Amino acid sequence: MQAMRLRVVMLAMTVLLLLAVVPDACGQNVIANSQFDANIGGWASYPAITGGGATRLADDGTPTSGCLSLLNPGACDCSAFTTYCASVTPGTPYLFRYFIKHPAGQHMYWTTWTSVNWFANSGCTGNVGTPFFENIPNDLATDVWTERDLGSAVSPANAYSALVTFYIENTGGSGISFLYDDVELINDRLFESDFDS
């Protein structure tokens, strides 16, 4: 009986050690800065014109202590977007979801979308495969956090990185912004059997 308990403890410790050293363990979010607790480190910002781009808000009713704010300041038919490049494992299922908030009092002349593109190289170069993609509907509720779940997809057999993009095109005369939080690109190998049928 003592030997059996020792084997169970040793097995559990082995599993924990493996999960600690495998960089892309089951259920792990490969986006390191997904909740913006202290900053927006790792997220690149591409403002269309001066005064736009991505910044961190300390709090806006989010479940965690911060969120990312993406602003397109307007006055032109132009775009602003922010990206995050994450390492992924080839041929692995990933689940993508996030929260978005559309602050009230803004005009409705905008287009915004979200995507995850797969890349053959570690630095998000060499586009491969079919991306996750979602156009956000213009009737998105304002001043509430809405979870967007794009489901799961298997990364291409030659994909080693993924680029998450949040994008706003502004066709109105004044600024438009969206808030993002709890961005997750999760290794979904626990549910790999879902893709075998």
Find the CATH number of the domain harbouring 101: 2.60.120.260
Bridge partners, residue 128, by sequence = 118
Residue 47: how many other CB atoms lie within 10 Å: 18
Q: What total of structural domains would you count in the chain?
A: 1
Q: What is the pLDDT along the chain (197 residues), one digit of tens a residue?
A: 666 555 644 555 544 444 444 444 568 999 999 999 889 999 998 875 667 888 888 766 655 678 999 998 876 667 889 999 999 999 999 999 999 999 999 888 888 999 999 999 999 999 999 999 999 998 889 999 999 999 999 999 999 999 999 999 888 778 899 999 999 999 986 544 443 43
Query: Residue 102 has what pLDDT?
Result: 92
Inside any domain, residue 19: no
Residue 70: how many other CB atoms lie within 10 Å: 26
Query: Residue 22 has what pLDDT?
Result: 45
Query: Residue 108 has what pLDDT?
Result: 85
CA distance 49 to 34: 26
Inside any domain, residue 171: yes
Query: Residue 57 has what pLDDT?
Result: 84
Inside any domain, residue 31: yes
Query: Residue 65 has what pLDDT?
Result: 73
Inside any domain, residue 21: no
What is the SS3 assignment for 42? coil
Query: Please, how many CA atoms are within 13 Å of residue 144, restricted to the half-sphere of its CB?
Result: 7
Residue identified by tokens 């080693």 is: 160
Domain that holds residue 72: 27-195
Please enumerate in sequence order all residues whose Cβ is within 8 A of that of 25, keeping only pairs 6 or more positions apart, or say none. Answer: 18, 19, 187
Inside any domain, residue 158: yes
DSSP state of 136: P
Residues in the chain: 197
Yes or no: say if 160 and 85 are a contact pair by the CB < 8 Å rule.
Answer: no
Inside any domain, residue 130: yes
Phi, psi of 189 (to 5 degrees): -60, -25
Inside any domain, residue 20: no
Query: Residue 25 has what pLDDT?
Result: 54
